[in-house]
Structure 1
Amino acid sequence: MGTKRILQHFHTTAEDYTIIFTSGCTAALKLVAEAFPWIPEGTKQPSSRFCYLTDSHTSVVGMRGITASMNVLSVPIKPKEIFLSEKNVLPAEEQNCMTPHLFSYPAQSNFSGTRYPLSWIQDIKSGKLCPIKIPGKWFVLLDAASYVSSSPLDLGVHQADFIPISFYKIFGFPTGLGALLVNNRIAPLLRKTYFGGGTAAAYLTGEDFYFPRKSIAERFEDGTASFLDIVALKHGFDVLEKLTGGMEKINQHTFALAHYTYTVLSTLKYANGAPVVRIYSDTDFSSPDVQGPIINFNVLDENGEVIGFSQ
């Protein structure tokens, strides 16, 4: 019942996505890094590439430690030149190469609240947009943990391959429980090396024999899942709907608060006309399509110097 309710919240079904419960978004990202079918350098096949937007969460950047045997590329925050250049678009025959590559970007920046286009998902997967011109098939990891805390995400339309989330960011409880939503088209390609309690259908201690559980979720959920917290999720989603009317209303409300706060902070001036705050944002908070309800700023003195935390 829990998995069905989660999939319903994200407007998809078990036909398209599998839910793997984790301890949080970070554990979900680590799982992707460990299980993605990377092709290392030094093989006959072209090696895999791991690319990520520079405006990514620490846990996404940390994936490059596991992918050290591949080439890693960080894409600038404003990626027009490298990311949207038509010279990077791959010919159809090169897209048929079997080498898998992974591109990760946040639906919403943890730093500034900037929202990046969900349309990139299909554009990257189809080869219309390429972070780097290289033969192979691109898969997309959408870091949605910050975005889904205050906005609806329709996976029926925006079908990313991997979506890590943390439930406490959606409704505060339970902590220590997250999930990785995996598109079923790539799920069979994921590689499992370590097997913990409950993930093996059969194994031998004296021989190198191991047969994984058939279900993708059971195969990757090592040990005992926090089943009491999983039961609590249904009640969390039910209360969320009852109290607020749904994620779109939360999206509009939180953006209205952020827009008001941004407007007021922007107009605060000292007697000499110097601004009281410096806001770090790529938008003017004009639309929830491009800006989430996060405001990152420093307080300045009348000479324009940053006032430190201790002050």
Structure 2
Amino acid sequence: MGGSLYPESLIEVHTKFLTSNLSLKHAEEARMAVLRFFDAPQSYTVVFTPNASGALKLVGEAYQFSRGSSFVLCEDSHNSVNGIREFARRGEASVVYIPAGGQASQEGAFNLNEAKGALFRNKPPQGTSSLFALTGLSNITNAKCPEGDDSIVTYARNLGYHTLLDAAALAPTSRISLSQIPVDALVVSFYKMFGFPTGIGALVIRKGFLRMLKSGRPWFAGGTVDVVQVPGRVYTMKGIGEEPESFEDGTINYLLLPAITSGLQLLSTYLPYLPLRLNCLLHHLIAEISQIRHHGHDGDIEQGFICQVLSRKPRKILQSLGETDEDTGAITACIFLDEAGEPFPLSFIAHSAAQKGISLRTGCMCNPGGAASLLGVQGSMKDVGEGGLMRDGMTLRQFEEEVARVQKQTGTCPVNANSPAHQLGVVRISLGLGSDWSDVWRVLQWARKLSDARERREMWQKWLDHN
């Protein structure tokens, strides 16, 4: 989810391009390639950004939040989406969170009926603008945004909301059609999709929505303006109405934009096969890693399992090409436990895996709401703020201690009753375009070594020496 492995073929193609030609026409070719990839009607255009976070920031800073309007989002959202709430609060708009997983679930995403209820209760009054942000696929809970019989996007738009889709985690493994999911704006990072290049993302946006954002943007830069009065206050933004250039700050990355076209062509070739392959890999990984038990010094099998999977598991076993899983992606978030059922330190897990050539992500994955949902600590997280002890500038350690204090006072505990309250994080195993059976086999071999007392003691010592 953090970044896909890049194929050698992309590097070879781009190196050949750099040694043979250079033209700004490739920027327009890249725009058209993005629009084709996302099946975007003619009413859309593309603004190139540094990444998906940069695209989200563009929307947040330019959106015309005001008193009476709302910013509605799910708790299971990336921090780059959460950050838009500060623009909303600056404009005196309400910030409304839809609970992750619904009232009876800790799976992440949101319950469709609860989401519709929140949207209806906070629908924008006439003359105001409200924004609804969706996460296509959670980067920690593995839950996809539910569509249901009635698209939540269409429902929100009919109530008067503008709609924003964070597709950064969804786009690398799923086909997205803007003809079928007619959001006002979609954001992606290309390195997450096919590994190369870094430093380029995109805001795929309705031209009418772009016109509205232009009028609200409080800043300009080189490349985004045609006229600037100095000294003075007059300036004229570049482009008329629907042109994307007035949102592309400074010189666009024209040397790397051609790699976008090549990368999308490559991903388009493999995308029909990915859901089936990744579904098989994830089913096997979860089934096997969930059954690994601790081995004692004498080789006997202990009672405790080494791994507890917390994220949403695929309910459907795909059987043929063309099938897709509408509920889950291709990641698993879990915790690794010792013989007593206590989680190992996250840094130990990451270090021991790295020694075997395995890259894992640990922590809350920039998604604190999704992590809280998996760990069952949403109430404690909320109570920290209500108790008046939460403050800007708190360190992670201080925040974890406050959550632990609230849990002790309220008698609540995380999803794993034996896990310490102070550990607010999980381990994420991500599968993608470059993953195959050998990768899953290596993860399982590492987990089995972790379950062996003698092997783990050696891993532990190496971790202590490293620290």
State the TM-score bracket (shorter-chain normalisation). Answer: 0.7 to 0.9
Q: 1:253 aligns with which of 277, 288, 293?
A: 277
| CA distance, structure 2, for counterparts of residue 117 and residue 249 of structure 1 | 23
Aligned residues of 1:259 and 1:286 also touching (Cα < 8 A): no
- Per-residue CA deviation, residues 248-277 of structure 1 (Å, 9 max, x unaligned), is 322222222112111112222343443221
| CA distance, structure 2, for counterparts of residue 70 and residue 28 of structure 1 | 21
SS at match of 1:208: coil
Q: What's the CA shift for 1:160?
A: 0.8
SS at match of 1:74: strand
Partner of 2:95: 72
Aligned residues of 1:11 and 1:155 also touching (Cα < 8 A): yes
| CA distance, structure 1, for counterparts of residue 95 and residue 47 of structure 2 | 26
- Per-residue CA deviation, residues 120-156 of structure 1 (Å, 9 max, x unaligned), is 21122123xxxxxxxxx21111110000011110111
Partner of 2:195: 172
Matching of residues 50-199 of structure 1 within 5 Å:
50-68=71-89, 69-79=92-102, 80=111, 82-85=114-117, 89=120, 97-118=126-147, 119-127=151-159, 137-190=160-213, 191-199=216-224
Aligned residues of 1:100 and 1:138 also touching (Cα < 8 A): yes
Question: Structure 1 residues 249-258 or 175-184, which shifts more?
Answer: 249-258
Partner of 1:22: 49
Q: List runs of 5+ in structure 2 lacking aligned partners.
A: 1-28, 103-110, 295-300, 318-324, 349-459, 461-467
Tell me which amino acid in the other structure corresponds to 1:108: L
Q: 1:276 aligns with which of 306, 322, 325?
A: 306
Q: What's the CA shift for 1:75?
A: 1.4
Q: 1:9 aligns with which of 37, 54, 57?
A: 37
Aligned residues of 2:65 and 2:87 also touching (Cα < 8 A): no
Partner of 1:131: none
| CA distance, structure 2, for counterparts of residue 149 and residue 108 of structure 1 | 10
| Structure that is richer in helix per residue | 2
SS at match of 1:73: strand
Choose 1 or 2 for highest CA Rg: 2
Question: Structure 1 residues 281-290 or 114-123, which shifts more?
Answer: 281-290
Tell me which amino acid in the other structure corresponds to 2:306: V
Tell me which amino acid in the other structure corresponds to 2:34: I
> Is 1:38 aligned to 2:62, yes or no?
no
Query: What is the Cα-based RMSD across aligned positions, in Å?
Result: 2.2
| CA distance, structure 2, for counterparts of residue 284 and residue 236 of structure 1 | 28
From the superposition, tell whether residues 88 and 235 of structure 1 become closer, same or farther in structure 2 (CA, over 3 Å). closer
Q: What's the CA shift for 1:196?
A: 0.7
Q: What's the CA shift for 1:169?
A: 0.6
Tell me which amino acid in the other structure corresponds to 2:224: T
| CA distance, structure 1, for counterparts of residue 124 and residue 71 of structure 2 | 16
Q: What's the CA shift for 1:83?
A: 2.1
Question: Structure 1 residues 49-58 or 251-260, which shifts more?
Answer: 251-260
SS at match of 1:52: strand
Tell me which amino acid in the other structure corresponds to 1:281: S
| CA distance, structure 1, for counterparts of residue 93 and residue 124 of structure 2 | 19
Q: List runs of 5+ in structure 1 lacking aligned partners.
A: 42-46, 128-136
| CA distance, structure 2, for counterparts of residue 181 and residue 253 of structure 1 | 28
| CA distance, structure 2, for counterparts of residue 246 and residue 16 of structure 1 | 28
Q: What's the CA shift for 1:285?
A: 4.3
From the superposition, tell whether residues 192 and 230 of structure 1 become closer, same or farther in structure 2 (CA, over 3 Å). same
| CA distance, structure 1, for counterparts of residue 264 and residue 134 of structure 2 | 26
- Per-residue CA deviation, residues 13-45 of structure 1 (Å, 9 max, x unaligned), is 4x2211111000111111110111222x2xxxx
| CA distance, structure 1, for counterparts of residue 124 and residue 86 of structure 2 | 27
Q: 2:252 aligns with which of 225, 228, 241?
A: 225
| CA distance, structure 2, for counterparts of residue 8 and residue 279 of structure 1 | 37
| CA distance, structure 2, for counterparts of residue 96 and residue 248 of structure 1 | 43
Aligned residues of 1:25 and 1:164 also touching (Cα < 8 A): yes
> Is 1:239 aligned to 2:266, yes or no?
yes
SS at match of 1:7: helix
SS at match of 2:131: strand
Partner of 2:289: 265
- Per-residue CA deviation, residues 36-78 of structure 1 (Å, 9 max, x unaligned), is 1222x2xxxxx21111100000111111122223211121102
Partner of 1:134: none
SS at match of 2:293: coil
From the superposition, tell whether residues 88 and 221 of structure 1 become closer, same or farther in structure 2 (CA, over 3 Å). closer
Aligned residues of 2:312 and 2:332 also touching (Cα < 8 A): no
From the superposition, tell whether residues 175 and 292 of structure 1 become closer, same or farther in structure 2 (CA, over 3 Å). same
Partner of 1:133: none
From the superposition, tell whether residues 274 and 84 of structure 1 become closer, same or farther in structure 2 (CA, over 3 Å). farther
